[in-house]
Structure 1
């Protein structure tokens, strides 16, 4: 996480830059000494115009090299006075590539990686070496990748690469753990080595060539695995009744986009429009999200968050919420109405607010490209994207808790119909009731 955080802090420096620009273009806010008042005023100097966007956001470009083994080395070198660096290895091995007989493999290997190696016989030896450098070593697993990374002083980058190569190529697993995880293997070994901070690309490439020599030569890569076993979104539901839970947990999801899909940016803006809310924060009526205001005003939930998860070839988009069981029906109706509204009625104010939030807290991409793509999103883009991914599309529902008030899956599916069809259905139902 730390390795990517160094890259993902997209606008960490912008508040500081803005303060500098403001100071340069505004008079001194402190009172002028009396002696200075007796002097003739100096000629007024016009403030220099702010630097062009390309200068404000000029950050080091990433360099990429591919070794004969297929291993990719990516570095992003920061100014020479930077003393820290983050070094990581990204392996395309996550839960989506596992079969029923190997479920949990990637996560197990992540946890076992620090148990010792041939040169570092146990976890204690490895821990002492890392602590003596004042470094941090960690790992995490996602659905598509397993990541091992270290945050170190710049002069310790070679040692960090040596440690990472050792734990990945020469791990030692205790016999009992191996017995618990029989048949465990990593089929996919397509890696990305990434480093950011005070690093030299050519030096990192040479070190990786020397250290990472024991990886599998299996030519199968993640793209081929996805093509052989494509992810297919199916409208369905999972309900787990639990009368002991005071709150119900509910997730409503639609098929989303991949990272490379042009719709990924509009979906991120939609995610920002829908927003998130938590009763403990107490924003309520002050929230820019219409959904958050509706939930707060109606006292319908304890928390709500919108998720937009992108994968290599597909995605998942929706809302997760926790609520008291007796509010589930009204909460579900409000959520589905908000989903549908975005396909037909969205204001430029909402879109502008969402764009601004994304520019502050968005995802990694070359800055100018990301800003341009976000700025290109308008009301029409939002409505077209919502229609494409929500209207008349399958929906997946997962819930756990006391669910007697949760509508059936067929109801959720009917709520994805267009406004015209929805209006006709309501008129028909009202006529029947009368």
Structure 2
């Protein structure tokens, strides 16, 4: 019993120490509304990403799948770094980039050496402000996504979770799948994707977050340099409205 008590105390102490060692989260809001958050630590690497309030919950029946489509195009070139030049720029730093789209957010992030943090911020800003949306890449990724949708039909986990949302939140935006429908993916145009970016990629809907061996002050300075140009206003008739969602108890057989 004494040994068990000692083990528990050690576990509790370790947990308490872990909580004490969690770095403080620092948050700064830029003039255009973009929030910059960081947790500093003595690490040789860092992870920096931009999180955007944009996902399938913000889509409608006609453009469902646009956010996921954009994720596929995010690293396929910008106006400054067209084609494969963007990915080569990341590779030259020995960095790793990735992204994801969910029902309520879109994220693009890069893992790199801490010394390269300013360059990482520059690249992320380039993605959200200058995505090329080249027609050739759009058609290429359209084919990739359509193949993914076919494969998802045989993925029981994916099917179950999509049915779960469709059933629990039927008739609301939370019922939308993240990937969109096959019909939508076949139909979405460059203009549709550009409109989605214009509607949702606004500074107040974004958080630039970093963790690792970085300085919050230097992160804010880099954000001011590269993200200050992100728009923060809407045309009167273009403000996106988040429709209310309700839970509906039902089942699918």
> What TM-score comes out, normalization by structure 2 length?
0.66
In structure 1, the residue matched to 2:172 is none
Instruction: For residue 76 of structure 1, report the CA deviation from its aligned partner.
Output: 0.2
* 1:168 pairs with 2:128: yes
Q: Which has the higher helix share?
A: 2
In structure 2, the residue matched to 1:233 is 247
Instruction: For residue 219 of structure 1, report the CA deviation from its aligned partner.
Output: 6.2
Structure 1 residue aligned with 2:216, among 191, 201, 213? 201
In structure 1, the residue matched to 2:154 is none
The list of structure 1 runs, each at least 4 consecutive aligned residues, that deviate by more than 4 angstroms after superposition, is 50-54
Go from structure 1 to structure 2 and tell me whether the alpha carbon gap of 1:235 and 1:51 turns closer, same or farther (over 3 Å shift): closer
Q: Is the 8 A contact 2:76 2:87 kept in 1?
A: no
Instruction: For residue 103 of structure 1, report the CA deviation from its aligned partner.
Output: 1.0
Q: Is the 8 A contact 2:66 2:188 kept in 1?
A: no
Q: Structure 1: which 5+ runs fail to align?
A: 1-17, 23-49, 237-396, 400-434
Structure 1 residue aligned with 2:68, among 90, 100, 107? 107
CA distance in 1, matches of 2:49, 2:85: 20
SS at structure 1 position matched to 2:80: coil
CA distance in 2, matches of 1:62, 1:161: 18
Larger relative contact order (Cα-Cα within 8 Å, sequence gap ≥ 6): 2
* 1:136 pairs with 2:96: yes
Go from structure 1 to structure 2 and tell me whether the alpha carbon gap of 1:216 and 1:102 turns closer, same or farther (over 3 Å shift): farther
Q: Deviations over 1:166-215 (max 9, x none)?
A: 11111111225288424232322310111000010011011101101332
Q: Structure 2: which 5+ runs fail to align?
A: 1-6, 140-186
1:33-432 mapped onto 2 (5 Å cutoff): 54-58=16-20, 59-79=22-42, 82-122=43-83, 124-176=84-136, 177=138, 180-181=188-189, 182-184=191-193, 185-186=196-197, 187-188=199-200, 189=202, 190-218=205-233, 225-226=241-242, 229-236=243-250, 397-399=251-253
Q: Deviations over 1:82-124 (max 9, x none)?
A: 10100000000000010112111111111111121122111x2
Q: Which structure has the bigger radius of gyration? A: 1
CA distance in 2, matches of 1:141, 1:56: 31
